[in-house]
Amino acid sequence: PLPQEELEHLNEANADINRGELELDAARSAYRRILSESARKLNSQGSQLGNCIERARPYYEARRRAKEAQQETQRAALRYERAVGMHNAAREMVFVAEQGVAAGKNRLDPTWQEMLNHATRKVNEAEEERVRSEREHQRVTRLCQEAEAEVQALQKSLKRVILRSKPYFELKAQFNQILEEHKSKVTSLESRVSQAKTRYSVALRNLEQISEQIHARRLQRLLQRRESPVGAESSPRHSSTESRGADLGAECPAGDSLSVLSLQTVASDLQKFDSVEHLVGISDAASLGSDELGERERRRSLRHHRSVSL
């Protein structure tokens, strides 16, 4: 890639990093503000309702555990269905391999024998996975049923305090949802900033490699110029001068292979404000030199005139 392209990639990644970090700081500040506000409002609500919140908390904890057990049961059911599908596919493969081996022309074919052995191993592995997933599904289903039974029992025994503490836990659920949305936004911004930093590192590494390649080519050309061929001393002086000019012209790199160091030097020079007052002194010195030359010529002519008159 050209240095200009990599510089553009570097600038784009830098802009994305700055913009993403600003948005990330704003999102984190909003998350902390909402968390503080929710804690303050929940504390105020809890002070109004009294101890009914702590008495009803086991019911809500049991509901949370029941919900988690239900989700785990669904995941176990999906794993069991997948294991059953793999077992059926492996059995079909064994059936096809057995039919191929049973044919008269393929009875001694090692390819069909290898296929049958492979299909048999797949069937055994799929059978083990099916049995294991079935046991796991039964276990989590039993836990889910126990959690549901606990929720029903607590609901009957704590019905009055559950109704009294309902506003507190509803407000808590609302704040939890809002905080979860802001948390996902913060996570997304962190991922975007991380990707931008990765692109910045890649572009910087590419620029360093380009600079090293350019310097290596310059060093190679310099070494080639220093190696003079046999009989170079007998060549005319003007030809050596012309060849030196040609070498100097060849030494200049192409426009598309400018090094990063030269670009940085130009950029730093553009940022400096040098004074030009010393140029006025140089011009005055030149004019003063011309005046002194004229004065010397006049004195020489005057001295010549005196010698002639004598």
Instruction: State how far the Cα of 100 lies from the Cα of 90, in Å rounded to an integer.
Output: 15
pLDDT at 168 over 60: yes
Q: What separation, in Å, do the N-terminal and C-terminal C-alpha atoms of the chain show?
A: 84
Q: Per-residue pLDDT averaged across 86-92, rounded? A: 88
**Rounded Cα–Cα distance for residues 141 and 75 (Å):** 11
Q: Which residue has the higher pLDDT, 96 or 181?
A: 181
Q: How confident is the model at residue 108 (pLDDT cuts 50, 70, 90)?
A: low
In the chain, the percentage of residues whose pLDDT exceeds 70 is: 71
pLDDT grade, residue 278 (50/70/90)? very low
Residues sharing a CB contact under 8 Å with residue 208, sequence separation 6 or more, in sequence order: 260
pLDDT at 115: 82
Give the model confidence (pLDDT) of 121-160 as tens digits: 888 988 899 999 999 999 999 999 999 999 999 999 988 9
Tokens representing residue 251 in the block:
């030494």
Answer whether residue 269 shows pLDDT above 80: no
Tokens matching residue 184: 């996902």
Tokens of 249: 């012209």
Average pLDDT value for the chain: 76
pLDDT confidence of residue 90: 87
CA quadruple 35, 37, 39, 41: dihedral sign: negative
Q: pLDDT digit string (tens) for 221-259?
A: 888 887 755 444 444 444 444 444 444 344 444 444 444
pLDDT digits (tens, 9 = 90+) for 284-308: 444 444 454 455 555 554 444 433 3
For residues 31-46, average pLDDT: 90
Q: What is the mean pLDDT of residues 8-23?
A: 91
User: Which residues make Cβ contacts (< 8 Å) with residue 185, sequence separation at least 6?
Assistant: 27
Nearest to 60 by CA among 169, 141, 147: 169
Is pLDDT at 70 greater than 70 in this prediction? Answer: yes
Span 19-45, average pLDDT:
92
- pLDDT computed for residue 283 by the predictor: 45
Residue 308 pLDDT:
36
Residue 252: φ, ψ to 5°: -70, 125
177-194 per-residue burial string, b: 16 or more CB within 10 A, e: under 16 = eeeeebeebbeebeebbe
Q: What is the pTM of this model?
A: 0.52
User: In the prediction, which pLDDT does 72 show?
Assistant: 93
Q: Are 49 and 168 in contact (CB under 8 A)?
A: yes
Instruction: Render pLDDT for 195-209 as a digit per residue (tens, 0 to 9).
Output: 999 999 998 888 888
Average pLDDT over residues 274-288: 43
Percentage of the chain exceeding pLDDT 90: 35
Helix-strand-coil percent breakdown of the chain, rounded to 5? 90, 0, 10
